[in-house]
Amino acid sequence: MRLVTLCLMILLLGQGFGFSQIQTDQTKAIEIVNKVKANFLQLSDATMDVTMDYNIHFFGCSGKRRLTGKGYYQAPDRIKVTLNDVTYFARGNKIRKIDENGGKWYVKLLKAPDFTPGFHPGLITYNFDLSIIEENPDQIVIKGIPKTAMTKNVKNVLFYIDPKENLLRSLDVKFVNEKLDGTMKISYQKINGLWVPVKLEGQSAVMVAGRFLVGINLKLTGTNVKINNRLPSALFEPGF
């Protein structure tokens, strides 16, 4: 095994610029994403009315449902959402749920991205190895390969970035199960001089019973958005 490794190293070095080119490409992709992250983190907190429409496709059946409620965000890693009297608290990977009857639940994500750094575009560099596959003045497309088995249901993700405004506009997900589609578009509204994400719409997949993926159509819309109002940290504490 050591001999094979040594031969591979010699081969790479023999290509002259090959290895450094890969490194440069990834470094540039990270720099681009970091600009998107810095732009987003001008948003210290947000409050909005939330409407979520979704349709899960399960063994040929589907069912549409609408949930409404309130959403709160505090940078970099706190979210609180109440939908139809069920409240979720998230801080990184730590998720708690209080149901409509006051029952308290611990929620665990399976084979999902690692949210330890927080909820912002920096998750891209944390969870994926990156390379630039398209670059022009209007759009940069970055390909992400999952770093860990946590995202083993995903082969790769394409991130479409607006370099003029430093915004993530959409993403395409290629699942291991090629029958499933994953495309999400993000819409923004300019509030107090900042671009704030107010709608997420597209198709993805969710894991059922921890064993298999099913397709889902999703539209998440925020209205009556207020930002940077110094929300108290206590608002995001579930109490257990």
List the single range of 17-21, 25-29, 69-73 with lowest mean pLDDT: 17-21
Q: Phi/psi of residue 64, each to 5°?
A: -90, 145
pLDDT of residue 211: 62
Residue 134: inside a domain, yes or no?
Answer: yes
Domain of residue 101 covers 19-236
Residue 106: inside a domain, yes or no?
Answer: yes
pLDDT of residue 15: 44
Taking residues 161-181, report their average pLDDT. Answer: 92
Taking residues 109-136, report their average pLDDT. Answer: 90
Q: Phi/psi of residue 215, each to 5°?
A: -75, 150
Residue 142: inside a domain, yes or no?
Answer: yes
Residue 10: inside a domain, yes or no?
Answer: no
When divided into structural domains, the chain yields a total of: 1
What CATH number should be reported for the domain holding residue 82? 2.50.20.10
Residue 2: inside a domain, yes or no?
Answer: no
Q: pTM of the predicted model, to two decimals?
A: 0.85
Structure tokens at 107: 């929620």
Residue 13: inside a domain, yes or no?
Answer: no
Taking residues 143-168, report their average pLDDT. Answer: 90
